[in-house]
Structure 1
Amino acid sequence: MKSQYHCASQQRILKVLMCLFGHEIEGLTPGQVAKLADITAGNATRDLANLEEAGLIERLPGGDKVRISPSLGRKALAILHTLDRAKRQLDDITTRFTHPA
């Protein structure tokens, strides 16, 4: 059952963004993105322009290829840091409960 909040264009742009992961070095052309996301070239170009405007992707110098932006990479690293901090807290609590004072 589809939610009343489902929006095809928003789902498509998220699919485009997900296609870019794993191509951080060489990037992808809009045509490659279109093929991977199984969308039209026009939609790929439009979605990439919106992702670039949002700062989630960047254009590689000297070409038409795009890749995930460093700012998005930093956000992903923030998740890992949060998980690491939570693990240290859990390890501390576990140690306090399992080792007598």
Structure 2
Amino acid sequence: MARLYADEQFPRAVSELLRTMGHDVLTVQEAGNANLGISDEAVLAFAVRNLRAVITLNRYDFVQLHRADQNHFGIIVCTNDPDRQRMAERIDTAIAPLDSLTGQLIRVVRPSN
């Protein structure tokens, strides 16, 4: 399963659900990096140092970071979904079949209905 680093705005409930699905999720809060005004670049650098893919709702900025440099362990950008179980399942479905997230940008979009 995937090693993930959930950024500060990522829903805690989804991180916990992903753990029940077998993913290794470290949150910014658990890493002691919350409420410090850390830049997106620093979030990605921390993830890279810890061999983790970033999981975020901050689609625009992290897509830009991916375009600038694909030397990372994956970036998963998500649209927010108030149905946290459905959100976690969609993320799991998107990443579970992949052998590696390294260098990949994965988009997980909330269904329109």
Smaller-chain TM-score bracket:
under 0.3
Which TM-score applies when normalising by structure 1?
A: 0.26
Structure (1/2) with the larger strand percentage: 2
Structure (1/2) with the larger helix percentage: 1
Larger RCO of the pair (alpha carbons < 8 Å, separation 6+): 2
Q: Which has the larger radius of gyration?
A: 1
